[in-house]
Amino acid sequence: MKHVVALAAVFSLAACDACISPALAAGPRAPAPATASALFTPHAVKSYGSVTVNGRKIAYEAVAGTIIVHPKGWDDAATPSSGKHALGMPDGPPVASVFYVAYFKRGVPAHNRPITFLYNGGPGSSTVWLHMGAFGPMRVVTNNDTHTPAAPYGLVKNHYSLLDATDLVFIDAPGTGYSRIEGKNAAKAFYGVDPDGHAFASFITQFLSRYKRWNSPKYLLGESYGTPRSAVLIKDLTLDRNVDFNGVILLSQILNFSLNDDAPGSDPGIELPYELALPSMAATAWYHHALPSNPPNLRPFLKQVEHFAMGKYADALAQGASLPSAERERIAEQMHQYIGLPVSYLLKARLQVSGPEFEHELLNSEDMTTGRLDSRFVGPSFDPLSRTAYYDPQSAAISSAYVSAFNAYASKYLHYTTNLRYLPEIGLHWNFMHRPPGAGMKLPIATNVMPDLAAAMKYDPLLKVMLNGGYFDLATPFCEGLYEMHHLQIPTSLQSNISYHYYKSGHMIYVNIHALKQLHANIAAFIRKTDNVSGG
């Protein structure tokens, strides 16, 4: 789910009173079009509800619908109105019907009410996770770090919804959720770093016009692959479309794919992925009491590991085969103290352990595998003799709950009925080639959108950026995001525009209810400080 894909070679990478009342949503039940001719016509269905956040009741209007998006260079005048080459037909021009659910606080003027556009990543993931787990007015109840039992699942009012601070627009990427694409070469037209950014920019600008929100304070909130999407998107919006945003909120960041620790062995000589992942491995071993002597407090311990990872460990890896054997053994022993793996294993691995190897090996003596997205989760190893993890216990633990809850919620409370199947994730061939600002062509290197975010911050020096990470995230280790931000090509003065927040949770920070509470408070404070309305 919404995870960053490991790329081959060059990284082608409840209490009763909390339950929902049937009276929560009201409005006429209207079926969503599902025929080929109607699917690519925009439509919307309204409903109404309320949620209490921080002791205050918020009445809202919900709109579930679609907006039609075209790839860059589309010419509407050249499109036949009927026949096999018409819009929405297999031989017609590529087109996307993008599904969204928007929540507007009732009784407040729209022109100075903040609005936030939210999306997950994958690429190939819908936004069911942020919608039903984090910031929508209702959320599904799952276990904190163990497998959630099968249905019936708890669907409760979300007292940590961001509706207290901002209106919300949850967007399902083209082809995911209830979004669909059609037309000749449609996958090529939408499934890639740059065309994806264009599609989202087109959606957002259309939305601003349709709902008269051009003068509202505006925010982007992306998770996982949604963070590189945000970098491309904010550059497109700011530089190319003259739409300044108040802030960009990043959850579980990866902007430079050469730093990813899923398969660093495919790019030998690049050592940073091992160094940046080490603190997250240490946090995982600490959580599972798998260290020779478990430190009592996590954060001071991680500071030690970070210092070691970017110091002696980085120096040892830089020496490669020339590292003296005695020093190699000393480094392996220190790694054993920090991440729990046996010294013999670390020496055999040449001090280089990838994320999937660590997930499989840490608890392998118990025939257990740790999670990738959230390493607090564990599950039975499929093959104890394997080298790497076969699956992600965290995904296995919660996915059914999210998908089931949204399907029930969409029809019963949003009144959105359709013959389409809701697709939480899709398999796709993603074009990771990217043309950063200033480049004359798409570059044949691992995707790196740090220049895009940097360009937007320089073009709009008032843009604020908020980074949120989980200590137990082995998909996008928290030190990776920190490293990327410290290496943006921006003036030192603009570094103060970036704020950092870390949580005792994983990739999906909000799965831990205590972390969700902190996450809500931090993001709400960020919006109020930057919306140019609240007086922050």
Tens of pLDDT, residue by residue over 184-213, are: 999 999 999 999 999 999 999 999 999 999
Say how far apart CA 470 and CA 255 lie, in whole Å: 16
In this structure, are 387 and 475 located in the same domain? no
Residue 1 domain flag: no
The pTM assigned to this predicted structure is 0.92
In this structure, are 63 and 40 located in the same domain? yes
Pairing of strands 378-380, 368-370: antiparallel
Query: Does the structure show a pLDDT above 70 at 34?
Result: no
Q: What is the pLDDT of residue 430?
A: 95
DSSP state at residue 496: G
| pLDDT tens-digit map of 138-180 | 999 999 999 999 999 999 999 999 999 999 999 999 999 999 9
Query: Does the structure show a pLDDT above 50 at 10?
Result: no
Residue 433 domain flag: yes
In this structure, are 188 and 108 located in the same domain? yes
Q: pLDDT band for position 350 (50/70/90)?
A: very high
Q: What is the pLDDT of residue 233?
A: 98
| C-alpha torsion 402→403→405→409, nearest 10 | 130
Q: What is the pLDDT of residue 2?
A: 46
Say how far apart CA 504 and CA 469 lie, in whole Å: 9
**Which of 378, 393, 408 is a domain's end point?**
393
Count of C-beta atoms within a 10 Å radius of residue 225 = 29
Alpha-carbon distance values, 44 to 39, 41, 214, 409, 495 (Å): 12, 10, 20, 16, 41
**Which of 393, 422, 453 is a domain's end point?**
393
Place of tokens 């491309």: 232
Query: Does the structure show a pLDDT above 50 at 377?
Result: yes
Place of tokens 């020779």: 292
In this structure, are 21 and 144 located in the same domain? yes
In this structure, are 177 and 239 located in the same domain? yes
Query: Does the structure show a pLDDT above 70 at 19?
Result: no
Residue 3 domain flag: no
- The burial of 426, by beta-carbon neighbours within 10 Å (0-12 exposed, 13-18 middle, 19 or more buried), is given as middle
The top-scoring range by mean pLDDT among 7-21, 344-358, 389-403 is: 344-358
Q: pLDDT band for position 280 (50/70/90)?
A: very high
Q: Bigger pLDDT: 274 or 25? A: 274
Query: Does the structure show a pLDDT above 70 at 32?
Result: no
Take residue 73 and report the two structure tokens written for it.
């260079």
Q: pLDDT band for position 13 (50/70/90)?
A: very low
Q: What is the pLDDT of residue 12?
A: 32
261 by DSSP, 3-state: which?
coil
| pLDDT tens-digit map of 441-474 | 888 888 999 999 999 999 999 999 999 999 999 9
In this structure, are 273 and 412 located in the same domain? no
290 by DSSP, 3-state: which?
coil
Residue 160 domain flag: yes
Take residue 105 and report the two structure tokens written for it.
């606080």
E strand or H helix at 68, and its extent?
Answer: strand 56-69
Q: What is the pLDDT of residue 175?
A: 97
Query: CATH number for the domain including 202?
Result: 3.40.50.1820
What is the DSSP secondary-structure string of 443-472? BSSS-B-HHHHHHHHHHSTT-EEEEEEETT
Say how far apart CA 357 and CA 49 lie, in whole Å: 46
In this structure, are 32 and 174 located in the same domain? yes
Q: What is the pLDDT of residue 21?
A: 29
Q: What is the pLDDT of residue 35?
A: 55
In this structure, are 72 and 220 located in the same domain? yes
Q: Bigger pLDDT: 255 or 263? A: 255
Place of tokens 């339950």: 19
Residue 535 domain flag: no
Take residue 199 and report the two structure tokens written for it.
């599609």
In this prediction, residues 396-418 reach a mean pLDDT of 95
In this structure, are 364 and 443 located in the same domain? no
Percent of the chain whose predicted confidence (pLDDT) is above 70: 91
In this prediction, residues 309-318 reach a mean pLDDT of 98
Smallest CA-to-CA distance from 13 within 444, 432, 372 is with 432
Q: Bigger pLDDT: 175 or 1? A: 175
Residue 140 domain flag: yes
Smallest CA-to-CA distance from 278 within 530, 501, 3, 474 is with 474
Backbone angles phi, psi at 355, to 5 degrees: -60, -55
Alpha-carbon distance values, 320 to 94, 101, 170, 316 (Å): 49, 52, 47, 7
Q: Total structural domains in the chain?
A: 2
Say how far apart CA 510 and CA 403 lie, in whole Å: 16
In this structure, are 177 and 306 located in the same domain? no
Residue 9 domain flag: no
Say how far apart CA 245 and CA 29 lie, in whole Å: 35
Query: Does the structure show a pLDDT above 50 at 387?
Result: yes
Q: pLDDT band for position 536 (50/70/90)?
A: very low
Take residue 217 and report the two structure tokens written for it.
């304070």
In this structure, are 131 and 253 located in the same domain? yes
Say how far apart CA 67 and CA 97 lie, in whole Å: 6
Say how far apart CA 198 and CA 206 lie, in whole Å: 12
Smallest CA-to-CA distance from 398 within 416, 420, 374, 415 is with 374
Residue 263 domain flag: no
In this prediction, residues 49-65 reach a mean pLDDT of 97
The top-scoring range by mean pLDDT among 35-44, 266-275, 384-393, 450-459 is: 450-459
User: 146-154: which pairs have CB atoms within 8 A and are 24 or more residues apart?
Assistant: 146/377, 146/397, 147/377, 147/379, 147/393, 147/396, 147/397, 148/397, 148/398, 148/400, 148/401, 150/400, 151/400, 151/404, 153/401, 153/404, 153/405, 154/14, 154/19
Supply the range of the domain harboring residue 289. 268-393
**Which of 393, 420, 436 is a domain's end point?**
393
Query: Does the structure show a pLDDT above 90 at 83?
Result: no
What is the DSSP secondary-structure string of 226-238? HHHHHHHHHHIII
**Range with the lowest mean pLDDT among 47-51, 66-70, 74-78, 154-158?**
74-78
In this prediction, residues 496-517 reach a mean pLDDT of 98
In this structure, are 226 and 84 located in the same domain? yes
Say how far apart CA 241 and CA 402 lie, in whole Å: 35
In this prediction, residues 237-263 reach a mean pLDDT of 96
**Range with the lowest mean pLDDT among 32-36, 55-59, 123-127, 166-170?**
32-36
